[in-house]
Each structure stands twice: as C-alpha cells, then as structure tokens.
Amino acid sequence: MQKQQLSFKYELEKKVPRLAPGGITRGASVNDFPASVGLAGVSMRLQPGGMRELHWHANAAEWGYVLTGSMRNTLVHPDGTSYIDNFEPGDVWYFPRGYGHALEATGNTECHFILIFDNGNFSEDHTFSVTDFIAHTPKEIVAQNLGLTLEEVALLPTKEAYFALGANPDDSAAIAQPRTYPALTSTHRYPLHAQAPRVIPGAGKQRLVSQNEFPISKTITGSLLELEPGALREMHWHPNADEWQYYISGSAEMTVFLAEATAVTEQFSAGDVGYVPMGAGHYIKNIGTEVCRILIGFNSGNYESIDLSEWLAANPDDVLITNFGIPAEVVKKLPGRKLFIAPATS
C-alpha cells in the first residue's frame, strides 16, 4: 500500500466557522492539520463591540496579530498585575500560558486578527471561559465568592458565552487613550508594522519580532514577510523552531524537503495556512502578479535561520567543487553572500 503524502497546506478560511453574536472564528490544530504538530492557529473576527470573553489557555501561550480594525485587550498576571492595551493593524500581542485575558473590538468596523499558539495540540478543550467556570460551580459558592445574592447569581449565564456583544467601548476613556512614542511598546504590545523593515531592493522585505525586541514573547517569534512578484525567499531551514504561516495576500509556492529523497510542493493563496517542521529545508516563491504577504510564527522566542546562499559562500571553492562535482568556473557564479530574498529572474 502506498504511503499517503503528508500535506503542509490547510485552507483555513474555507473551514466551517464557529460563530455567535459578537464574533466568528476558524481554528486549525494538529487534529485538523496533521502536519502542524508544534503550532496551531486561529483566524478570528469580532464585530464592533464584540468580545471574546474572559478566558485562559491551559496548554499554550497566545501570540496575536491584527490584520484589520482595532481592538482592546485586558490581561491579568498571576501576581495580580493587570494590563489594558489597544491594538491597530500591524500590532502584536503575547499572553503567556494560563494568563487570563479578553479581546474586544473597538471602532466601527470588524476587527480581524490571527492567533498563533505554541502547541499543535491547542484546542478549545484546553480553553477555559469565565462564564463556563461560573455556570458549572455551585450557585452558593458563586454567591459567596462574588458577594451576590442567589437571585443575582441567577442572572449570570448558565452556559459558556464564548463570544459576547455589547456597547462599543468608549475610545475617550482614559484606559483607551492611544500611546505616544516611545511608549508604543508595552509589556504585552509590540507595534510590528511600525518597525523599519529589512529591505531587499526589488525583491521584498521582512519585519521580525522575537524576545529580543519583545521580551515577554519567550516562546514565539513572529515575522511579516513580503515578496515581490517572482521573488524567492531562498532555500533555508530553521534549526530551533517549527514554522506556521498565514497567507494574507497574493499566491505562492512552497516545497518542504524532509530528507531521504522526500519533498512536498504545494501552492498557497490568501487565507491558506502553511507549515514547516523544525529543520526541514524549504523555500517560498511568489508565483502571482501582486505582492505576497505572509504572517509567520515560530515556536521559539529566538529566531534562527540557515540560508543556503550564506552557507555555500562560507565554504572554500575546493569544498564546493568536490561536493557538487562541478568546475571552478561554475562555483564562481554561486552567490558570494547571503541573498535572503532573491529577486525575480528575467
């Protein structure tokens, strides 16, 4: 019997969503996307005034990136310290595993954001919502805990809300005032899109946020990669992390090399998710006519990459001549430095 080939592509935005008044969500764990053993992801949309209720994740940290709209997040630390931050497109957050938080859309348009979790087995089975907790605790205990009467406890939800829809938060409130530079970065907020990108002229650019730039983000590094038409994020691998990709716009091709003459090539469009196991060689090429934008998460707070051009350039010519069995004049044509992103060929 022929072994079934593992796919490194998942059409996330085509998945049947979970929806309720206030929001809509689509998620992909290893159960939906078997290749994705080290990371999981969610595409979530909140209506104006919509809230992903107070909750926590028992088995994963959460890294978020805002695509469109605006939102306000609240968070509590185990030491009792609380945080309230506002987010716009291009902003990132990170919540450690088990920290209680809520996500709420602000403004007059839908807020769309991507969540990345540092555990492929992340699922709603390991998400604990405050309404579900209260609804399944004896009413007398809830009354004693919250200082309410039994009649008042009866007004609380009798099952998990998950999403809630309320009044749009007042942007004039003191806690909603936008920060000014240099206080754009807070403990749990990093303005990734405000970062000056690494630019490869005529080929593309990258913005990267690891724990070096965002100290709280100890288990996830995020990257926003833009490839010009025909450009190639060169052949490379990551020795310390798996890679989870969300294709924001454009179209691309990726091959994942798994050793022992095994490689999988697939094509991606906006709304698709890609995955690369730790150490697996791969490339990403823009095969469309518009800029391809990709949000990438790695399950390590430190970013490490080994690019083929840089590796070959570091070796003496005689090593390359022997390794590949090619003449010296061909070796001289190989890149003499790291490309990172190679421009389209004419």
The helix (H) or strand (E) run that includes residue 145 is helix 139-146
- Count how many residues are written for the chain: 346
Task: State the catalytic residue, choosing from 101, 188, 236, 282.
Answer: 101
198 carries an active-site annotation: no
55 carries an active-site annotation: yes
Would you give the DSSP letter of residue 186? B
Task: State the catalytic residue, choosing from 26, 55, 72, 293.
Answer: 55
52 carries an active-site annotation: yes
62 carries an active-site annotation: yes
- Asked if 339 contacts 265 with a C-beta cutoff of 8 angstroms, the reply is no
329 carries an active-site annotation: no
Burial class (CB in 10 A: 0-12, 13-18, 19+), 16: exposed
Task: State the catalytic residue, choosing from 52, 207, 236, 293.
Answer: 52
Pairing of strands 70-76, 189-191: unpaired
Task: State the catalytic residue, choosing from 26, 45, 53, 57.
Answer: 57
Spatial distance between the Cα atoms of 215 and 190, rounded to a whole number of angstroms: 10
Task: State the catalytic residue, choosing from 26, 53, 62, 160.
Answer: 62
112 carries an active-site annotation: no
Task: State the catalytic residue, choosing from 13, 88, 124, 213.
Answer: 124
CA separation, residue 85 to residues 74, 110, 219, 238, 339 (Å)? 7, 18, 21, 32, 38
Active site (catalytic) residues:
52, 55, 57, 62, 101, 124
